Structure 1
Amino acid sequence: MTNLCGVDVSKAWLDVWIETAGHRRFANTARGVAELGAHCRAHQVALVVMEASGGIEQAAFLALWQAGQPCAIAHARSVRQFAQAMGYLEKTDRIDAMMIARFAEAKRMVATPPPSAHQQELTALATRLRQVTGDLGVQKQRLHSARDPFAQASLRQAIAFFTEQANALAARIAALIDRDPLWTALDRTFRQVKGVADRTIAYLLAELPEIGTLTNRAVTKLVGLAPLPDDSGQRRGRRSIRGGRAGLRSILFLVADIARRFDQSLTDFRQRLLAKGLSKMQVRIALARKLLVRLNAKARDTRAALPLQA
Structure 2
Amino acid sequence: MTNLCGVDVSKAWLDVWIETAGHRRFANSAGGVAELGTYCRAHDVELVVMEASGGIERAAFLGLWQAGQPCALANARSVRQFAQAMGYLEKTDRIDAMMIARFAQAKRMVATPPPSADQQQLTALATRLRQVTGDLGVQKQRLHSAREPAMRDSLRQAIAFFTAQADDLAARIAALIGQDPLWEALDRSFRQIKGVADRTIAYLLAELPEIGTLSNRAVTKLVGLAPLAHDSGQHRGRRSIRGGRAGLRSILFLVADIARRFDQSLTDFRQRLLAKGLSKMEVRIALARKLLVRLNAKARDTRAALTTNP
Query: TM-score, with normalisation over the residues of structure 2?
Result: 0.99
Find the counterpart in structure 1 of residue 61 from structure 2: 61
Find the counterpart in structure 2 of residue 169 from structure 1: 169
Provide the C-alpha distance between the structure 1 equivalents of 2:90 and 2:144, rounded to a whole number of angstroms: 47
Provide the C-alpha distance between the structure 2 equivalents of 1:309 and 1:33, rounded to a whole number of angstroms: 42
Provide the C-alpha distance between the structure 2 equivalents of 1:215 and 1:82, rounded to a whole number of angstroms: 27
Provide the C-alpha distance between the structure 2 equivalents of 1:93 and 1:15, rounded to a whole number of angstroms: 6
2:58 counterpart letter in structure 1: Q
- 1:205 Cα shift? 0.4
1:17 counterpart letter in structure 2: W
- 1:272 Cα shift? 0.4
Instruction: Report percent identity of matched pairs.
Output: 89
Provide the C-alpha distance between the structure 1 equivalents of 2:203 and 2:146, rounded to a whole number of angstroms: 32
Provide the C-alpha distance between the structure 2 equivalents of 1:58 and 1:145, rounded to a whole number of angstroms: 40
Map 1:23-102 to 2 at 5 A: 23-102=23-102
- 1:307 Cα shift? 3.1
Find the counterpart in structure 2 of residue 307 from structure 1: 307
Find the counterpart in structure 1 of residue 136 from structure 2: 136
Find the counterpart in structure 1 of residue 272 from structure 2: 272
- 1:308 Cα shift? 3.8
Provide the C-alpha distance between the structure 1 equivalents of 2:83 and 2:142, rounded to a whole number of angstroms: 44
2:163 counterpart letter in structure 1: T
Cα RMSD (Å)? 0.6
Find the counterpart in structure 1 of residue 224 from structure 2: 224
1:98 counterpart letter in structure 2: M
Map 1:101-112 to 2 at 5 A: 101-112=101-112
Residues 119-163 of structure 1, C-alpha deviations (whole Å, 9 max, x = no match): 111001000000000010011111111111111111111100000
- 1:306 Cα shift? 1.2
Residues 79-122 of structure 1, C-alpha deviations (whole Å, 9 max, x = no match): 00000001111100000000000000000000000011111110
1:124 counterpart letter in structure 2: A
Question: Is 1:257 matched with 2:257?
Answer: yes
Provide the C-alpha distance between the structure 2 equivalents of 1:279 and 1:136, rounded to a whole number of angstroms: 32
* 1:126 match: secondary structure: helix
Map 1:118-137 to 2 at 5 A: 118-137=118-137
* 1:111 match: secondary structure: coil
Provide the C-alpha distance between the structure 1 equivalents of 2:143 and 2:95, rounded to a whole number of angstroms: 48
Find the counterpart in structure 2 of residue 213 from structure 1: 213
Provide the C-alpha distance between the structure 1 equivalents of 2:304 and 2:109, rounded to a whole number of angstroms: 29
Provide the C-alpha distance between the structure 1 equivalents of 2:213 and 2:19, rounded to a whole number of angstroms: 36
Instruction: Please list every run of 5 or more consecutive structure 2 residues that lacks an aligned counterpart in the other structure.
Output: none
Provide the C-alpha distance between the structure 1 equivalents of 2:2 and 2:184, rounded to a whole number of angstroms: 41
Return structure 1 stretches of 4+ with deviation > 6 angstroms.
Answer: none
* 2:201 match: secondary structure: helix
* 2:205 match: secondary structure: helix
